[in-house]
Amino acid sequence: MLAGRLGTQRNWDEYLWDVIRRPVRFDELMASEFSTPDRHFFVDLSASGSFANFLKHGYAPALRGAPAINQFGNNSGTVRSLRDELLRLPGA
Q: pLDDT digit string (tens) for 56-78?
A: 998 888 899 999 998 888 899 99
Q: C-alpha distances in angstroms, 69 versus 19, 64, 92?
A: 27, 16, 21
For the chain, give the percent of residues with pLDDT over 90. 36
- What is the pTM for the complete model shown? 0.69
The H or E element that residue 64 is part of is strand 64-67
Specify the amino acid at residue 18: D
